[in-house]
Structures are given as C-alpha cells and as structure tokens.
Structure 1
Amino acid sequence: MYGIHQKTTAAKVFIFITQIIYLILAFFILYRDATLDNYIRYTIIIFLLITFLRLNAMLFIWLPRGISWKESIGNSLAFAIYYIGFPLFTVYSQADSNIAMYVIGIVLFLAGSFINTTSELLRKPFKADPANKGKLYRGGLFKYAIHINYYGDILWVAGFALVTINVWALLVPLFLFLMFVFSYIPNADKYLLEKYGSQFEDYQKHTKRLIPFIW
C-alpha cells in the first residue's frame, strides 16, 4: 500500500475501466425501476458522478505514488459497493421517502467530499516540494486529525447511504469505519512511524487520530 514510487499506469487504468463499467450498470439499475422517485434517482446519479470524478482525480492527479495490482483489484472490488451497492439499496428500499434522512445525507456527502478532497489538495504542494523531503506534513486539515482524509471518507459514504432511504445501506459506512479503525489506521501509523520517527510520535501526541476534537 505504501512505498511504491514507480509509475503503475496499467493498474490505475484498470481501476478506471472498472468504474466505467460500474457506472453503466448503476444507470441500468436506477432506470429499470420506474417507481423510483425521480429526485432520489437524480441525487444518486449526481453522487455517483461526483464520486467518479473525485476518485479518479485522486488516482491520476493527487496520488503520485504507484499502486500494486493487489491494491488495484482490491480497490476495484471495493468501489463496486459504492457504484452498484448503493443503487441496489435504493431500488430495493422498503421505506417511504424520508426528507430528514435525505437532507442529512446530502449534507454529510458534501461535507465528507469537501474534507477528503480539500485535505488532499492542501497537502499536495507540500509533498511535491523537494525541500520538504523527509518532513511530515501536519498542516491544512491534517492539523485536526492525523487521518482527516479517512474521516471525510466515512462522512461522504454515510451521506450516500442515507439518501438511498434504506437503513441497511448504513452497514457500508459502519464497515468502512471498522476497517479504518482496525486495519487502515494501524497500518498507516506503523508506516508513518517507521518513515518519520520522532516527527510522527510528536504528531500523535498532539493530534487526534481520526475524528477531530474527539478521537
């Protein structure tokens, strides 16, 4: 997951192509159900397109490191949960339209997308500057949490789940949260500690791990 510095264009293109396939399937699922409220359908489509743009901007613009084929295949399978899973949750929802759930979902999706994208955008110039080689980035939104980008992921995925108006969809952000807490964050912390040593130790002492002001 970390430390791959050579270009891995083929692996990234594979992820891109799978997302295109997922989008086509998602459109088919959403338009096959004629009883689905149009405002829900259009919201899901807009969220899918925003997700597509953000994920691929991260993949080709904001993520300078290479990725392994294992990570490429793993990410492609995980993305199916967003592109295919949420449309399926939407069309198979047994609940009546819930405006409060819908509005909260939109707010969380936009907030999470902003936090995730902005944190990466602010960090990129620092990482691209040769003068900062060997220095740990602690600025921007990362001063509020070590893994603020993961926090943004949890928010936008939770928002996406809510606009499906299907409570079972909330299992997706719950699973993502557990994955971050018990797998991604420990592995990332281990890598950062090995790479930055005392810089990261000091960062840990003064900064929350995932949720600003809480944990």
Structure 2
Amino acid sequence: MDLYGQKSKSTPQKITIHLLEILLLMLSYWILFQSGGDWCQRYLHIQNATGNPVRRIIIFTFNMIIFLRLAYMMVFLLKRKIPWEESISVPLAFALYYIGFPLFVLPVSAPIDGLDYFGLALFLTGCLLNTASEIKRDRWKKLPGHEGKMYTAGLFKYSRHINYFGDILWVTAYAILTKNGYAATIPIFLFCFFAFYNAPKLDNYLEKKYGEDYETYAKKTKMLIPFIY
C-alpha cells in the first residue's frame, strides 16, 4: 500500500498495459467472430455454437467499454506510481474478462431473454458506480483546500469501496450474459478478493493515513456492499 503515497505518471507502464490489453481484445475478437471459435472447439473441446451471434456481440461490446473505461481512468484519474510488475499483472487479470467470458459464451446460442436484460442493466449500473465515484472523488480532491483530505461524500457515503462494488456488478453482468454456470466463478472470486484481501488492506492504509477520521467513517459506512457488508 506504500504505492498509494507515491505520485508518478508511470507513462511507459500505462502504455504497456494498454498495448497488452489491445492484444487481448484482438484475441477476444478472434475467438468470438473468427476462426478462434473453431480452434477452441478442436483443441480445447469447447463447443462453438454459431447459431445466434447477439450474445457474442454483447460480450465483445462489454470488453470494449471496460477497456475504454480503464484507459480513461488510468490516463486521467490514476495518480499513483505503477510498478512494472503491475503493468503485466493488470492485463493478466483482465484476461479473465476479455478471454474468459468469450470462452464461456462459445457453447451458448440461446436468444436474449429477461435475465439478460437485467444483466445489461447491472453492467451499466456497475460501470456507473465505479467510474462516477472515481470522477467525483478526483474533482473534489482538486478543489482548493481539499488536497490530502479524506473524501466520504457522493457515492462513497454508501460504501467505503463503492468503486469495488461497481466492479463486482459489471463482472456479474458478464457472467449472466454467458448463460454458463461456470462463469459465476469469476465474480465470486472477485468478491472474495475485494472482501477479504484488497478492501481490508486498503482500509488499514487509509486508517493509518487519516486516523480517527477514517475510524469514524468506517463505523458508520459499510465496507463493500451498501447497507449490507
């Protein structure tokens, strides 16, 4: 967590992350719409059901939206230093979404139904919670007199890590759209990672940085899921 106190543009690392993610997007497109589906069926024994492409189009659209959101946040909002190992680990983590969900959706050709529309709404909600909370916090911190102060307003008054909760929602939406039960393992893993590792670790850092102010905030605000947990 020492990285949160180190300011740096980390331009080479950010370029590396974006280039690797573009390669993952190209691989995702190959799997979903080109000969990659047949390759997966032949060598990975994953059925390639090509009857209805709408679900695949949605999954790839999700991929593009997440890529653009991450690019925006890294270029305009992320101020801390990015170590070189993170420039590799971040794309590897996002490969779960860019490649994992396309593999899960390959065998599925079912038409879009009501649950899928719920998934679309969940995706938009998750993206909004994550990005809007980060943008509002960034704007607040840029106001005169706010530098170095703790931000607890906006969406962060409902959850100390509302941005992480947003991530869980849009990843769950991916899983819903794949219509594949195995895809649920990814949002479950992400929830466990945030709930039992990343959020508590960040809490410890913020408590050391802001002291009693953060303790008071933590007592009245749920850690991850608004009003629940």
Check whether TM > 0.5.
yes
Q: Contact (CA 8 Å) 2:141, 2:148: kept in 1 or not?
A: no
How large is the RMSD of aligned CA atoms in angstroms? 1.6
Out of 140, 152, 159, the position equivalent to 1:138 is 152
Q: Contact (CA 8 Å) 2:52, 2:110: kept in 1 or not?
A: no
* Offset of residue 6 of structure 1: 2.1
1:21 aligns to 2:36 (yes or no): no
The match for 2:89 is 74
* Offset of residue 36 of structure 1: 4.6
Residue by residue, what CA displacement relative to the aligned partner does 1:156-190 show, whole Å, maximum 9, x if unpaired?
Answer: 00001111111111110000000001110111001
The match for 1:60 is 75
Q: Contact (CA 8 Å) 1:101, 1:162: kept in 2 or not?
A: yes
1:195 aligns to 2:209 (yes or no): yes
Residue by residue, what CA displacement relative to the aligned partner does 1:7-56 show, whole Å, maximum 9, x if unpaired?
Answer: 21111111100110001000000013471512112111211111111111
* Offset of residue 126 of structure 1: 1.5
Corresponding residue SS for 1:153: helix
1:92 aligns to 2:107 (yes or no): yes
* Offset of residue 153 of structure 1: 0.3
Distance 2:212 2:60 in 1: 45
* Offset of residue 96 of structure 1: 4.1
Distance 1:127 1:170 in 2: 36
Corresponding residue SS for 2:179: coil
What are the within-5 Å matches in structure 2 for residues 118-137 of structure 1? Answer: 118-137=132-151
Structure 1, unaligned runs of 5 or more: none
Out of 124, 141, 165, the position equivalent to 1:110 is 124
1:50 aligns to 2:70 (yes or no): no
Distance 1:36 1:60 in 2: 39
Corresponding residue SS for 1:51: helix
Corresponding residue SS for 1:65: coil
Corresponding residue SS for 2:76: helix
Distance 1:3 1:97 in 2: 48
The match for 1:30 is 32
* Offset of residue 66 of structure 1: 2.0
Distance 2:89 2:24 in 1: 15
Corresponding residue SS for 2:5: coil
In the alignment, residue 98 of structure 2 is paired with which amino acid? Y
In the alignment, residue 55 of structure 1 is paired with which amino acid? L
1:164 aligns to 2:210 (yes or no): no
TM-score between both structures, scaled by the size of structure 1:
0.94
Corresponding residue SS for 1:208: coil
The match for 1:213 is 227
* Offset of residue 111 of structure 1: 0.8
Question: In terms of Rg, which structure is larger?
Answer: 2
Task: State the identity %.
Answer: 46
Residue by residue, what CA displacement relative to the aligned partner does 1:92-115 show, whole Å, maximum 9, x if unpaired?
Answer: 34x844613312211111110111
In the alignment, residue 170 of structure 1 is paired with which amino acid? A
Q: Contact (CA 8 Å) 1:4, 1:68: kept in 2 or not?
A: no
Distance 1:57 1:65 in 2: 15
Q: Contact (CA 8 Å) 2:157, 2:221: kept in 1 or not?
A: yes
User: How many residues in Structure 1 have an aligned counterpart in Structure 2?
Assistant: 214
Structure 2, unaligned runs of 5 or more: 38-48
